[in-house]
Amino acid sequence: MADKDYIAQLFRVRRERFGISDDIYWGWFNPDDGSVEWKTWRHADADGMGGFANILRPLGFPCDPLPICNENKVPSWLEIFRASKENPRPAALKQINWKQTYAYSPDSMRMPEVAFLTREETIALKEKGKNQKLNYSNLAFSALNRVVAKKLVNGDDPYYWFIGVNIRGATNIRNEQFNQVSGINLPIYPDSDAAHWQQQMRLALKSKSHWATWKLANIGKYIGDGGLALVYRLSTNSSHFAGSCSVMSDWPLPDERNPEINNNRLLCAAGPGTANYPINSSLVGWNGATTLTLKLHPYICEDQTLIKILVNAWRDEILRDL
């Protein structure tokens, strides 16, 4: 049994030493008027799964058990090395040629914006994925990438997106409130379609890239707060990514004990971001519908209006071929 959440340690060190927020924004989206009353929890306190369980259980939703991955153990470094050799991945520069960047103060921020897919549109998206042998999330996030690239990125060079990966069930961590999400960096072109996105996802998972990320993210166990701060300071100026994409599951989890849902509000959330990961996006399923949440760091976003424009363009791009 793990006695410390070392991912939480990483978020705490970034917050305390560098002033980098680890706030996850969440709220209930009103599809009638587009309003959201935003609240937050710290990523150091819970990942998306644990955070949603904390929100929904007081409302009567058991959320038990939380979704697990299809792996049953954490591989060794040797296994990761072998998998990476057997499944070589293309690379991209850890730099992005943004069309425009802006000076910002440490406490400046932009709020998330939300669009949504109705229950019928969500069904159509998942059916399209099924018919094309593609995961619906790859359809959705490849659409976001094309919208973002057209508006914000110069050139045709590939760059990285960070994709969250649920590893619950393989970590042997008993405390469900400990962070149990890793991720992979996908090299993606500005015009990549869903098939290319999925190809890169599968290759990354076969190479066990998410497990390398997990082990490195837990390095605070060995080097302490000071070591973590040094590693972060040395790496932060050389690594720049488009941002993060998170599939935050479909809620409420199937359970005959769930109470009746008698309103049309929709759950939504967006993760923390930095100038190095300036775009944060998520898909959250609620009662058959899906929220699309987008948050941009002020490093690439001059005003809130841009985020609203982009989240609506994201929705339009998803629906274009449905």
Report pLDDT digits (tens) over 174-224. 999 999 999 999 999 999 999 999 999 999 999 999 999 999 999 999 999
CA distance 183 to 74: 14
Q: Strands, DSSP E only, in the chain?
A: 23-30, 35-36, 39-42, 113-117, 159-166, 181-188, 243-251, 266-270, 279-286, 289-296
**What pLDDT shows up at residue 220?**
95
Q: Measuring CA to CA, which residue among 219, 232, 205 is closest to residue 22?
A: 232
Q: Measuring CA to CA, which residue among 271, 265, 315 is closest to residue 292?
A: 315
Residue 224's CB is within 10 A of a number of other CB atoms, namely 13
**What pLDDT shows up at residue 322?**
87
Rounded to 5°, the CA angle 247-192-116 comes to 40
Residues of the chain with pLDDT under 70: 1-2
**What pLDDT shows up at residue 170?**
96
Domains of the chain plus CATH, in order, are 6-293+309-319 (3.30.559.30)
CA distance 271 to 221: 24
Which amino acid, residue 43? H
